[in-house]
Structure 1
Amino acid sequence: MSLNSINTNVGAQIALQTLNSTNAALENAQNQVSTGLRVAGAEDDGAIWSIAQGQRSQITSLGAVTDSLNRASSVLDVAVTTGQTISDLLNQLKAKALEGSDTSLSTSDRAALNDSFKSLVSQINSAVSNASFDGGNLISSGAPNLVALSGPSGSQKLTIAAQSLALGGANVTISASASFSTASHAASLLTIINTSITNTNAAVAALGTEANQVTSTLTFVSNLTDSLTSGVGNLVDADVAAQSATLQALQTKQQLGIQALSIANSSSSNLLSLFKG
């Protein structure tokens, strides 16, 4: 048999405890629905939050790696495009020198060919000078190798070898002042130009291979970033649909708890009716 007391209202205490528990669960559900996160901070689940933060650090680092690789890719794209242009110009130089080696040409015709020849040489020089992206030029004379990040630790790096295509260099052996005035002189230039064409094509091919490697590394880093992001989501993201349903149920439970507490609180005042005549 329950005891009716004006000093201790057990029913109200139980109702209050239940309401407080409901309010706490309701606040948690509201936070998950509003933030979309099951673990928004260390107080929600310290172990999971710590793991997620570690993975977020990796994701941020991979963002820096992506930026580095994108810059390298842009520098390479400019170098490859310019290298292909230089190869085309060397082919045109070969044609001009071959025409100039024709002994049946008049002096004026050979002079006109020489002017075109020198113009092509000048275009090669200009192309090399302008083959820069963000200060990086892989085909200028004495160009340093390009080093890009390839991993989040900072110790993993991708080294891209420079390929000088400057006039008078190891690949483009023809000099900036090259010209011809006689058929024999023009013929002698053909050997130099053929060597330059062979070397240039090999250098551009090497740059193209490096570009493919950078692209492959970018793809890997992108896929790894997506996987890590998905993994963090699996750890900390809330099931918003389930929490929305829970939220509605808890709101109903809260209303019932308030009513139960009100009823329990009124039980003490009901004792006064015993003393009414």
Structure 2
Amino acid sequence: MSSILTNGSAMAALSTLRSISASLDDTQSRISSGLRVGGAADNAAYWSIATTMRSDNASLSSVQDALGLGAAKVDTAYSGMNAAIEVVKEIKAKLTAATEDGVDKTKIQEEISQLQDQLGSIAEAASFSGENWLQAKLTGGLASDTDKGVVASFVRDSSGAVSVKKVDYTLSASNVLFDTNGNTGILDQTTNIAGDGVVVNVNDGGVTTSHNLKSYTTAQVSAAVTGAGGAFDAGGDIAWTVAGDGAGAGVGYVKIGDDTWVAATEQDAAANATQEVFATDATNFEWQINTADVAASTAMSVSAFTIDNTTTATELSGLLSMVDTALKSMTSAASQLGSLNSRIGIQEEFISNLTDSIDKGIGRLVDADLNEESTRLKALQTQQQLAIQSLSIANSSSQNVLSLFR
């Protein structure tokens, strides 16, 4: 049936052309944007996942920046600690040289003073972005003064909750060189350095402890004993001011080295306490070191001690021990910083790889396959041309009705 009011063929051709044009628009949009899922209308589930993961990737990018900042802080502290270690090694060498007989210790102290000033300069300069991990307020400080850390990761768990993880680093007396509000840092904490005393290890009940005791020369002991009416044997190891009387009340001295004596107390062998016995006299009385006879000592620190030509060998030995202890602590602290630096480097690489993996995952969900889309575009363009031609033919069929009225 032919009709000039209703052209079914043209309507069918027009509907086909509209469908092809819509598909062509979608394909051109995918090609121009590169996305198969460009909005929620394309695929709500994939679009939601991709949007969330893009947001997480942006957070991971910030974590990378924070890791870079943290690495700079750790590098600064590590460099400062290594520089300080070299200075303390030099101080130790100077003290060793000062133990040689005839050396002018005053001149050596001039060099040590310059090295001590350098330690302060290093600790003060080892600051990055206002953070200094070599000097801190340890005494009377707040948690914010000592609790440091580096942002390490952004985490989304299975329930969708998000959190930021950090690598913690706590400033303490074991890794800080100077306490800005006290003297608990590695270099400013004080140690009692024995003067004219002698350090003696005493075993008491199976536990050995060190005691800084007054030391006496043979001449001093001889004078004290004979002055109190006692007999002094220059070749013996025991001397007392009151002869042993069986009552355990004798007070005297025992010899622990060449020309070195310390105060001792006489004890009845039958009633002997647990303390180590250093000598036994002819009357079978035992002599124990009097650990209460403490020698005078001076509180010193690595950053502030001084020596001169009156400094004794005992004091130099104590100073060397103090410096060596500080050096061990600094070496341990440098190892901590080095380990932390290594961990940050590993984390930086992991975050970079993780970001790439998430980008790939998002791409698999929403990216368009341009090979496929280009092929589809060619086919749709051909279909569009055919649909246009079909519509043209359908529209021209109504013209044929005129021939019926000629």
TM-score (norm 2): 0.63
- Structure 2 gaps, min length 5: 138-144, 156-161, 190-300
Partner of 1:206: 336
1:17 maps to 15
Q: Counterpart of 1:179 in structure 2: which amino acid?
A: T
The question of 1:177 aligning with 2:192 is answered: no
Q: Is the 8 A contact 1:151 1:157 kept in 2?
A: no
Kept in 2, the 8 Å contact 1:77–1:211? The answer is yes
CA distance in 1, matches of 2:306, 2:10: 106
Does the CA-based 8 Å contact 2:136-2:146 persist in structure 1?
Answer: no
Could you tell me which of 383, 388, 398 is aligned with 1:253?
A: 383
2:177 to 160, 165, 168: 165
Q: Does 1:51 find its partner at 2:49?
A: yes
Distance 1:238 1:131 in 2: 52
Runs of 5+ unmatched residues, structure 1:
none
Contact map agreement 1:141 1:169 (CA 8 A) in 2: no
AA of the residue aligned to 2:186? N
- Given that residues 37 and 366 in structure 2 are in contact (C-alpha distance below 8 angstroms), is that contact kept between their aligned partners in structure 1? yes
For residues 83-232 of structure 1, the aligned pairs below 5 Å read: 83-105=81-103, 107=104, 110-142=105-137, 143-149=145-151, 150-152=153-155, 153-162=162-171, 163-166=175-178, 169-172=184-187, 173=189, 174-182=301-309, 184=312, 186-232=316-362
Determine the structure 1 residue equivalent to 2:219.
none
CA distance in 1: counterparts of 2:82 and 2:59, whole angstroms: 35
2:302–2:323 Cα contact (<8 Å) kept:
no
User: What TM-score comes out, normalization by structure 1 length?
Assistant: 0.90
CA distance in 2, matches of 1:64, 1:82: 27
Give the match's secondary structure for 1:25. helix
Task: From 6, 9, 17, give the equivalent of 1:8.
Answer: 6
CA deviation string 1:253-277 (max 9, x = no partner): 212221221111111122112212x
Aligned length: 271
Q: CA deviation at 1:202?
A: 0.8
Higher normalized helix content (fraction of residues): 1
Decide which structure has the larger Cα Rg and report it. Answer: 2
| Partner Cα separation in structure 1 for residue 391 and residue 80 of structure 2 | 81
TM-superposed CA distance for 1:155, in Å, is 4.8
Mapped to 1, the partners of 2:306 and 2:16 lie a distance apart of 98
After TM superposition, give the deviation of residue 186 of structure 1 in Å: 4.8
Higher relative contact order structure (alpha carbons within 8 Å, sequence separation ≥ 6): 1
Higher share in strand: 2
Q: Give the CA RMSD over aligned residues.
A: 2.0
Question: Displacement, 1:218?
Answer: 2.7
How far the C-alpha of 1:89 sits from its partner, in A, is 1.0
Name the stretch that deviates more: 41-50 or 182-191: 182-191
Map of 1:257-276 to 2, 5 A cutoff? Answer: 257-276=387-406
